[in-house]
Amino acid sequence: MIENIKKKLWDLLLEKSVSLVMIYNREGEILWHRGRQIVGKTVAKGDNFCKSFVLATIKEPKIVNKMNVGILQVGDGLSESAERLMIKSIYILPIDLDHFLYVDSGTKVYFSEAELAIFRILADLLQAAIDKIRKSVQRPSGICGKNAAMDKVKNLSLKYSLEEECILISGETGVGKSHIAEKIHQYSGRPGNFVVADTATINENLFESVVFGHKKGAFTGATQDRNGLVDEARSGTLFFDEVTEVPLSFQAKLLRFIETKRYRVLGEAKEKSADVRIIAATNRVFPSLIMEKKFREDLYYRLNILEIKVPPLRERKEDIELLIRGNLHFLKGKEMGPGFMDAMLTHHWPGNIRELFTVMKRMGVLCDSPLTGADVLSLISSANHQPESTIQNKSLESVWNLLGKGENFWQAVKEPYLKHHLNRLEVKAIIDHALKLVNGKYIDTLPIFNLDISEYKSFMRFVNHNKF
């Protein structure tokens, strides 16, 4: 909804009814603007708009009085900045207690009543959209948590959904970075898809093809045209999961796309453009990667315009019970018995939310009702007893035995994955092993698994969106 409202404001601008439209908040942050070029990301440091009127709405609570929601000044009543910018009319509407809609005119002496009515309707729609987002954020299926750090994550997610700049989400593995990215996309109202670039699973030699697409014959093995992730995310959001895994050889091209929204499909001479918002996530520390020349400093600063730091679960123990009660379906209807919650609250959860949900799913399958503290400790102990590499090796051996007996990819990999007998890391290990057998070419793994390329792409998109 928000994206549609902003588009309507932009359409009004194109009709030359207004010269500048922007949304800002009570903290003085400029969240979005279109039209005349302005300076700065905050009201205090900004320029090229009527700052005095904007500051008045922030500093004077009475201006937010719903009996007097607009500021309309015409002609001689304008400020010095308005005269310098040759602005004839200004209209500022509080969207709610925290957000404001600012509109000023170009050569028009005044806004018509019809135009003012449209601005008021748009402000009401923005308020309804923001209220809906706030309620969504508070639901267990939203960005869950009730401590101060998670309140900040939720507030930033709401705030950044109104923006269009890149977002960098940082935090340990399993804290829910991809979930937060997807929620920001949903809150934004962008009409396109939320598409995941799971960088760790993309072969370096194919990275440009996967992201930008290729034409038939562009390189050996390119037997048909292929749309890239950018095309799939057109008018939506492209999420680079673990962005530090993006190959150095591709980083300059990614930087250029972020800055210009232009890219070139491999094998095609003409450039294309796409309105795609970029969100990136990482569990690594950038300064050391930059010093080691493994990540471009300019790309880091371009990605890190808006930042969200997600705290690990051990630093917000009060959220554990909230997460459990909001996801009781993982327990398959089994009741929580003596010691269950104490054991869950005591564990350190090094794998964060992903580990918490994994333990709940295993209890739902393996344990009898009521679930006790002893059940929790037993499951956690057995999971920690086998290193991840050991589990993956056993999965590899089992899968290759099945493939050797004539079973196809769907029987050996997809069905066990859907039944949670294999997790995402194990599927990745299976594919990595196949890549090693064929010298790193994805196209050459297809005969091994008895798959065609469309089936493979479809399955990997599913895996990337269901990270159990």
Whether the CB-CB separation of 4 and 23 falls below 8 Å is answered with no
**Residue 366, class by beta-carbon neighbours within 10 Å (0-12 exposed, 13-18 middle, 19+ buried)?**
exposed
Q: Tell me: do 80 and 216 sit in the same domain.
A: no
The residue behind tokens 């000023």 is: 104
Q: Rounded to the nearest 5°, which phi and psi values hold at 108?
A: -70, 135
- Strands 277-282 and 237-241, by their bridges, are parallel
Q: Tell me: do 101 and 210 sit in the same domain.
A: no
Q: Tell me: do 121 and 147 sit in the same domain.
A: no
Structural domain total, the chain? 4
What's the CATH number where 233 sits? Answer: 3.40.50.300
Give the H or E element holding residue 287.
helix 286-291
Summarize the chain as % helix, strand, coil (round to 5).
55, 15, 35
Q: Tell me: do 289 and 436 sit in the same domain.
A: no
Residues 6 or more apart whose Cβ sits within 8 Å of residue 73: 53, 82, 89, 90
Give 315-320's long-range contacts (Cβ < 8 A, gap of 24+). 315/149, 316/145, 316/147, 316/149, 316/150, 317/345, 318/146, 318/147, 319/144, 319/145, 319/146, 319/147, 319/150, 320/344, 320/345, 320/349, 320/356
Positions of the chain with pLDDT under 70: 1-10, 12-17, 60-86, 106-110, 133-145, 381-397, 403-406, 419-420, 437-442, 452, 454-468
Which amino acid, 429? A
Alpha carbons 93 and 86: distance in angstroms, whole number: 21
pLDDT for 33-62, tens place per residue?
888 888 888 888 888 888 888 888 887 644
Choose the final residue of a domain: 385, 405, 432.
Answer: 385
Q: Tell me: do 302 and 155 sit in the same domain.
A: yes
Q: What predicted TM-score, i.e. pTM, was given to this entire model?
A: 0.65
Q: Tell me: do 100 and 116 sit in the same domain.
A: yes
Selection from 10, 436, 429, 272 nearest residue 23 by Cα: 10
Q: Which residues pair with 74 in a beta bridge?
A: 89
pLDDT for 404-442, tens place per residue?
666 777 777 777 777 667 777 777 777 777 777 666 666
Q: Tell me: do 392 and 380 sit in the same domain.
A: no
Choose the final residue of a domain: 360, 385, 410.
Answer: 385
Residues 6 or more apart whose Cβ sits within 8 Å of residue 34: 6, 9, 10, 13, 20, 21, 22
Q: Tell me: do 42 and 154 sit in the same domain.
A: no
Alpha carbons 195 and 278: distance in angstroms, whole number: 10
What's the CATH number where 322 sits? Answer: 1.10.8.60
What's the CATH number where 13 sits? Answer: 3.30.450.30
Q: Tell me: do 170 and 254 sit in the same domain.
A: yes
- pLDDT of 389 reads 43
State the CB neighbour count (10 A cutoff) for residue 32: 16
Q: What is the DSSP letter of 87?
A: -
Q: Tell me: do 51 and 127 sit in the same domain.
A: yes
Q: The domain containing residue 369 runs over which residues?
A: 313-385
- pLDDT of 419 reads 66
Beta strands in 276-315 (DSSP E): 277-282, 306-309
pLDDT for 282-304, tens place per residue?
988 888 888 888 899 999 999 99
Q: Tell me: do 381 and 393 sit in the same domain.
A: no
What Cα–Cα distance (Å) separates residue 11 from each residue in 35, 107, 260, 464?
11, 17, 22, 36
Choose the final residue of a domain: 104, 122, 137.
Answer: 137
Q: Tell me: do 334 and 358 sit in the same domain.
A: yes
Give the H or E element holding residue 92.
strand 89-94
- pLDDT of 64 reads 32
